[in-house]
Structure formats: C-alpha cells, structure tokens
C-alpha cells in the first residue's frame, strides 16, 4: 500500500496540533506591554512544544522517506502516535497556565514519554514490514537516541516531584538532543539513492 | 476524474475533526492531579471518537485505494459523509460533559448511525461508477460488517434509554469490530496488483 | 507554474473553513434532548453553509481540473476568493445565533455575493491566462448559472429587509441550483481527455 | 531529499494560521448592523494579516518552485519561519482588540520583522544547499525588497511610539510592496524551463 496518504494525513494532523497550541496564548485585554508578562510561562511552554512537535514531524518525515510501502497495521501505529501527539496541546496549556508546578510538569513528561513509546512502536511496525528492504532497519541501528530519551523523560517526570523546573530542564535537554537531525537515516537514504542511480546508469 | 484531490480534501477535513476534539479537554485551573479526575468522561469520549474517526479515515483510505476514478456524484456522497463525521466532535463533547447520560449517549449513537449510513451510500456511489472495474465490488462483497454495525448502533441508541453505559459499551464493541482492518479490500487490492504486475512482466 | 500547491493550499483552507463552523454548535450543559432545540437555527445555518462551502470546493475542483497551469496573478485571485469564503463561518454564526433576523441574513447574503464575485474574478483570471488552451473558456460558456446566482444573492439581501426567512429561502434556492454539479466543465474535460487519448493512440 | 512533504506541511500550517484568525471576529449577540461597528479594527487587522500570510505563502510557493531538493537543516529553517508566522494570529488579535494602540502595534511590527528575518534565513539555507544549481541564487539577486521590508518594519515599530496608526500605515505599505508577485523568481524559472525544454527537444 502506498505511503502518500499516510504522509498527507499525518502532515494535516501534526500541522493542526502545532498551530492550535497558539490559541492558548490568550490575547490580553490591555494594550500595555506589561500585559504580556503573565503570558511568559505559556509562551515558554508553547516554544518547547512547538520544537517537540517539529522534531516529531521531522523524524516522521525522515523515517517515511526510507520506507517504500506501509501495511494496514502501520496505519494504526501511526494513528496511535498521532493520538499521543494530540494530547501535547492539552498538557502544554496546563503546564503554562500553572507556571510549571509539579502536577502539570509531570503530566507533560508523561505525554512526551508516551509519544516516544508510540514512535518506537511505529518504527518497529515499519521494520517488521520491511524485513527484506533493510535500508530502514540498518538506518535505525540500535536507536540509542530513542532509548536515552525514554529514560530521560521518566527522569524528568520523577524530578518534577522535587522541583518542577528541573523536570522542565530535562525536557529542554531532550529536545536539544533531537534538534540535531537524524543523520543516520538521512545518510543511509542518500547512499541508497546514489547506489540505485549508479545501478540504473550501469544498465 | 482523478481521486487525488478528493483524498486530499477528505484527509484535511478528517484531520481537523480528529484534532479539534481535543479542544474539549478544558485545561483545569488547578495544578493538582485531582483536577484531572472530572475530565475522565470527556477523555473516555475523546478516545472512543478518536478511534472512530481513525477507523473512518482508515476505511476511506482502503476503499479509495481500490478505486481508479471518481464521478461528480461521488464528490457529493463524500461531502455527505464528511458532514456527519463533522458532528462527531459535538456529540462527543455533549456525551463527555454529561457523564454518559441517556440523551447525549443516544445522540452519539445516532450520529454514528448516520456516519455509517453515509459511508454505505458513498460505497454504493463508487460501486455504481465502477461497474466494469469490479475490484471494488468484489472486494466489498455483501458488506456484512457494515450491516451489523448499523444494527448495533440502533441497538446502542435503544439501550441508552435503559442505561446509558450499556449504549456506550455497544459503541465500544462496534469500534473493536472495526479495529481489525478491512482485509477484504486489502487482499483484493494486493491480488489485483500482483496480477497486473505478472501481466506486465509477461509482456 | 504548476497548480498542485494551489490546490493543496485551497483544499487546506476550505477544509478548515467547513470544519470550524461546527464549533459554533455550542455544547448544551444539560443532557436533556430539549437542550438541543435552541440550537435549531444554528444547525440550519451550519447545514446551509456546509453545502455552500462544499459547492465552492466542488466547483473549484472541477475548474482547476480543466486548467493546465496557473500564473502568479491567479494565486492572488484565489486568495481573494478564500478571504471571502473565510468570512462564511462568521456570518453563519451571526445568522444562527440571531434566529435569521434582518441584519445577519442580509450580511450572510452579502458574503455569498462577494464569494460569487470573487469566484467569477478567479475564473476570469484563469481564462485570460489560458487563451490558447480554450478548454476552460469553452467549458464555461457564458456562465449563466453564475450570473443568475449573483442576481439572486442581491435579491435575497433585499428581501431580508421585508422578511429574513424569505432571504434565507432564496439562499437555499441558489444552493439547490448548484448542487447539480457543473456538468459543462465535466463534459468538456471528458471530451478533451478522450480526444487526447485517441490522438495518442493514433500516434 | 524531496521537497513535497515540506510543501504539504507548510501549506497545512499556513492554511490553519490564515483561517483561525477569523475566529477572533467574535460574533455579536445583537442582530443589529451597528453591532458590527466595534469589530471594525479587528476586521482591518484581519484583512492586513490575511494579506501578509498570503504574501508569505505566495513567496514560499515561488521560492520552493525554484528549488530541486531540501536538506535536513532547511526543514528547521522552515519550521522557524512557521513559528513566527504562527504568532501572527496572536498579535493580530491583540492589535485589533486594542484599536491600534502603541504596544500591540509595535508587537505586530516586531513579529512581522521576525517573520521577515526567518524568511531570509530560510532563503540563505536554501541557497547554501543549492550552490551548484544557481537558478535560485541568481533569481533572488540581492534581495533588495527583503532588505527594504526589514528596515520598514523597524521604522513601523519605532513610529508606533509616536502614533500607532503611523506604524500601521507602514505595515500596509510593506504589504502593498509585496502584493506585486516576486517576478524575479517567476521569470528565472520560466526561462529555465524553456531552456530545459529546448534542450530536451534538441535531443
């Protein structure tokens, strides 16, 4: 089955998720600059979540680039990922409105943890389907960055009970870790394409 | 007429429907975890509706995969389906806010019933247009699952008058029935593609 | 310049317009069926606007199907159309909330009139760009239905001053007029494709 | 890496940004035409922002048209641009609700300035990636219009402290400057295509 509609639907959902979060930045009724100050934590949460959703879109893009076709099961693993991503606006707003207190910060980390897990499950679903086409499997390798992130999310959740800003810092750190694009897949794909081109030139 | 824009538009509308439902999860003003408890029924409704909209997207995807082209009439049957799907966020929110009482639970079932009927009409419209290309018609067979669902939705609506949670359980059951992807079409399409490939290899 | 991104962007905007209108159906706080009764005029307005936006999407789809490429100016005529379409949710909500009184019903008609005019301007922009490729120009003919609609919208606006429901009825009538798909273009396109195919078969 | 998903995702986000702004046009509770009068500044802001987001979409479309492929870094420059564009609905609403007072008008100009800077950075990222393929680099030339705009935005921000309507006028002026489509790229692309066609005809 082709992957184009899966990409289109995911793009649509992720585009909406990343954009509706800005609706939580409630417009102040006063024209004074100082009216923006109370929005500071909401804005910080918005920036972090924007980066996270951007990372997911980016990695989703890279991953499906290395994929030739998808199975019916993959459609469901993808929807499962989109479900957890769709909860990011909710926990973002909760964390922002409550100035990074324990409850919301832990909940934010929990949703990030679930997104990460859902992403791993999607990857696994794709790898299973692509046994013969090992570009994806090779490209992912042992997915060290993914495993580290999952541990860090749980650390962030735990730290939120001591000091919520520590949890928040951990989430910022994981985002920084991922801002470096997933060169593994990118390089593999580039190699693959070059090989294919040289092969077709050889014919 | 090509089917790509029909797919793109449907993807867009369904992506928005599935995502705006999360806006009904009103952010609590307290940072306490217990503030999430009253959201429980809203969250449950959200999960069920997310799964339902996911099922519709999935089946829509599979169905149009088996289709080569669409007529002007099909565009309207498709819009008719999207109309009923667009009411899902409304009944979801009503059911969630009122903790699964009779009225909203029956209304939820009614909208599911109308979505299901609209989907059948869309299928019928496509089959009529594809008389000669019988992949779709054969693949659908007698659409037993669709007919059972329609009966179950009506049962759920009726049960809501006795106990709303019974109606809700029936809707959960129908969703479970559909989570198994529509292998009939998938298999038919795979067969068709393989035959076509073997034919083109034979040439 | 290719038309695919113009289509994709228009699909996105129209999909959002058609879907956010449902947010005006405010969820009642009571689980009683009678709580739905006051929503009746909002629902009626929603249905009519859903049909109108559907008609615009449908015609936009048919029209661009007959088009091979677009100029930079056409992008702006298209945005101009999308601007007026984006006001439909606003006037729909105003009309629905005020039970079809004079002001909102006239405003609704005015926005429909502007959408219709914007559509005509877009068509004109496309025809100018396609002088040599006359499929579109021939297919549109004298655009009788478009001209009649514009007159009817103005009639509806005028009638709103006497009785708002009369204006509303006129808008329903125009929608009914358009629900019949624009067979002129469809037939022309089909002819064209057949001719092209027979030509390429002849080679 | 292909550019199609970058286009699709950007189209989605920009389509949502341009459409959710209309939600700030709060529906008046009175059916009287005079109830629309207080919406005047909100409507004016909406129109200006619609035009601005339209300009960005238009230029984004033209620019990516001249591009053959994108790197991983470009995905991030693009997300950076989308981030600043996503703040337009917020400052639009703030400016509209406060009838063009100093604070919101300056903030509006600041966000436009950041969008413009983010666009320049995206262009730079694309040019770096396309060294060999100089269509884009040549087409952009010295980007005079971009540089003038950045200066004008800062002028607008500064003027807002003296009289907010002066700042607003400057933003209207910059928009007018850009409404003229970026013919530089368009012409270059047309040339390029013609050359390519004549080359392939020569073969």
Residues C3, C65: Cα–Cα separation, whole Å: 9
Can you say how many angstroms the Cα of residue C88 is from the centroid of all Cα atoms in its chain?
Answer: 10
Residues B192, B183: Cα–Cα separation, whole Å: 14
Report CA torsion sign: D19, D20, D23, D24: negative
Q: Which residue has the higher pLDDT, B137 or A116?
A: A116
> Could you give the dihedral angle defined by the CA atoms of residues D156, D161, D162 and D168, in that order, rounded to the nearest 10 degrees?
40
Chain A residues inside the 8 Å CB shell of B54: 76, 79
CA distance D114 to chain A (A): 15
Q: Which tokens sit at C66?
A: 């007959």
Query: For the ranges C42-46, D51-55, D197-201, which has the lowest average pLDDT?
Result: D197-201
pLDDT band at B156 (very low <50, low <70, confident <90, very high): very high
Exposure pattern of B28-53 as b/e (b: 16+ CB <10 Å)? Answer: beebeeebbeebeebbbbbebbbbbb
pLDDT band at D3 (very low <50, low <70, confident <90, very high): confident
Q: Which tokens sit at D6?
A: 């970058």
Question: Which residues, 6+ apart, have CB-to-CB distance to D59 below 8 Å?
Answer: D119, D178, D182
> Testing the interface with B: which of A4, A14, A42, A90 to mutate, by most B Cβ within 10 A?
A90
> Hey, is the C-beta of C127 within 8 angstroms of any chain D C-beta?
no
Chain B residues inside the 8 Å CB shell of C29: 97-98
Smallest Cβ–Cβ distance between B86 and the set C12, C22, C27 belongs to C22
Q: Which tokens sit at A123?
A: 């990857």
Phi then psi dihedrals of residue D202, to 5 deg: -65, -35
> Testing the interface with A: which of D46, D104, D114, D118 to mutate, by most A Cβ within 10 A?
D104
Cα nearest neighbour of A15 on chain D: D13
D179, D55 contact by CB (below 8 A):
yes
D111, D156 contact by CB (below 8 A):
no
Q: Which residue has the higher pLDDT, D197 or B55?
A: B55
In D41-147, at which residue ranges do the beta strands (DSSP E only) sit?
Answer: none
Answer yes or no: do A65 and D16 touch at CB < 8 A.
no
Residues B184, B182: Cα–Cα separation, whole Å: 5
D54, D14 contact by CB (below 8 A):
no
Question: Within chain B, where are the H helices?
Answer: 4-20, 40-65, 72-86, 88-97, 102-129, 135-140, 144-159, 164-179, 183-202
CA distance A137 to chain B (A): 24
Residues D149, D157: Cα–Cα separation, whole Å: 12
> Testing the interface with A: which of D79, D106, D110 to mutate, by most A Cβ within 10 A?
D79
Report CA torsion sign: C96, C99, C100, C102: negative
Cα nearest neighbour of D97 on chain A: A29
pLDDT band at C136 (very low <50, low <70, confident <90, very high): low
Residues A130, A126: Cα–Cα separation, whole Å: 6
CA distance B164 to chain C (A): 11
Please give the full DSSP string across A10-72, using - where no structure is assigned: HHHHHHHHHHHGGGGSPPPSS-SGGGGGGGHHHHHHHHHHHHHHHHHHHHHHHHHHT-S---H
Chain A residues inside the 8 Å CB shell of D5: 7, 11, 61
Residues B147, B145: Cα–Cα separation, whole Å: 5
Answer yes or no: do D181 and C73 touch at CB < 8 A.
yes
> Hey, is the C-beta of B8 within 8 angstroms of any chain C C-beta?
yes
Percentage of residues of chain B with pLDDT beyond 70: 81
Percentage of residues of chain D with pLDDT beyond 70: 81
| Tens digits of residue pLDDT in C93-107 | 999 988 888 999 999
Between the CA of residue A30 and those of A36, B136, D39, D99, what are the distances in Å?
A: 9, 60, 17, 11
pLDDT band at D156 (very low <50, low <70, confident <90, very high): very high
Between the CA of residue B128 and those of B1, B59, C58, C184, what are the distances in Å?
A: 15, 18, 20, 22
**pLDDT at position B129, please?**
67
Q: Which residue has the higher pLDDT, D182 or A135?
A: A135
Answer yes or no: do C50 and B86 touch at CB < 8 A.
yes
**pLDDT at position C144, please?**
78
> Could you give the dihedral angle defined by the CA atoms of residues A84, A90, A93 and A96, in that order, rounded to the nearest 10 degrees?
-50
Question: Which residues, 6+ apart, have CB-to-CB distance to D123 below 8 Å?
Answer: D63, D140, D143, D146
Smallest Cβ–Cβ distance between D28 and the set C12, C17, C94 belongs to C94
Residues of chain A short of pLDDT 70, as ranges, are: 1, 129-142, 180-197, 199-203
Q: Which residue has the higher pLDDT, D197 or C78?
A: C78
> Hey, is the C-beta of C177 within 8 angstroms of any chain D C-beta?
no
CA distance C83 to chain B (A): 18
Phi then psi dihedrals of residue B31, to 5 deg: -80, 5
At D90 the three-state DSSP class reads: helix
Q: Which tokens sit at A193?
A: 């394409």
Residues A4, D5: Cα–Cα separation, whole Å: 9
> Hey, is the C-beta of D33 within 8 angstroms of any chain C C-beta?
yes
Answer yes or no: do B58 and A75 touch at CB < 8 A.
yes
**pLDDT at position B141, please?**
60
Residues D11, C5: Cα–Cα separation, whole Å: 8
Residues A192, A180: Cα–Cα separation, whole Å: 22
CA distance C41 to chain B (A): 16
Residues D64, C41: Cα–Cα separation, whole Å: 45
| Tens digits of residue pLDDT in C19-51 | 999 988 999 988 888 999 989 999 999 999 999
> Hey, is the C-beta of A39 within 8 angstroms of any chain D C-beta?
no
pTM for the full predicted model: 0.87
Residues A163, A179: Cα–Cα separation, whole Å: 25
Q: Which tokens sit at C95?
A: 């009309």
Closest alpha carbon to B50 in B17, B23, B27, B82: B17
Q: Which tokens sit at C143?
A: 């655009």
Phi-psi region of A9 (alpha: psi -120 to 50; beta: other; left: phi over 0): alpha
A73, A131 contact by CB (below 8 A):
no
Chain B residues inside the 8 Å CB shell of C19: 13, 16-17, 20, 86
DSSP 8-state class, residue C66 = T
């Amino acid at each position: 089955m082709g992957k184009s509609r899966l990409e289109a639907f995911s793009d649509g959902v992720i585009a909406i998720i990343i954009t509706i979060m800005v609706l939580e930045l409630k417009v102040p009724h006063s024209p004074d600059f100082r009216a923006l100050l109370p929005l500071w934590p909401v804005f910080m949460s918005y920036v972090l979540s924007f980066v996270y959703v951007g990372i997911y879109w980016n990695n989703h893009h890279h991953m499906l680039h290395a994929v030739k076709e998808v199975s019916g099961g993959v459609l469901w693993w993808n929807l499962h990922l989109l479900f957890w991503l769709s909860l990011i606006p909710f926990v973002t707003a909760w964390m922002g409105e409550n100035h990074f207190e324990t409850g919301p910060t832990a909940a934010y980390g929990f949703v990030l943890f679930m997104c990460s897990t859902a992403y791993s499950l999607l990857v696994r679903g794709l790898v299973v389907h692509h046994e013969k086409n090992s570009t994806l499997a090779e490209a992912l390798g042992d997915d060290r960055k993914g495993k580290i992130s999952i541990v860090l999310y749980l650390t962030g959740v735990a730290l939120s009970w001591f000091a919520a800003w520590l949890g928040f810092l951990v989430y910022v750190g994981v985002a920084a870790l991922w801002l470096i694009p997933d060169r593994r897949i990118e390089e593999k794909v580039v190699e693959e394409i070059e090989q294919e081109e040289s092969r077709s030139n050889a014919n």
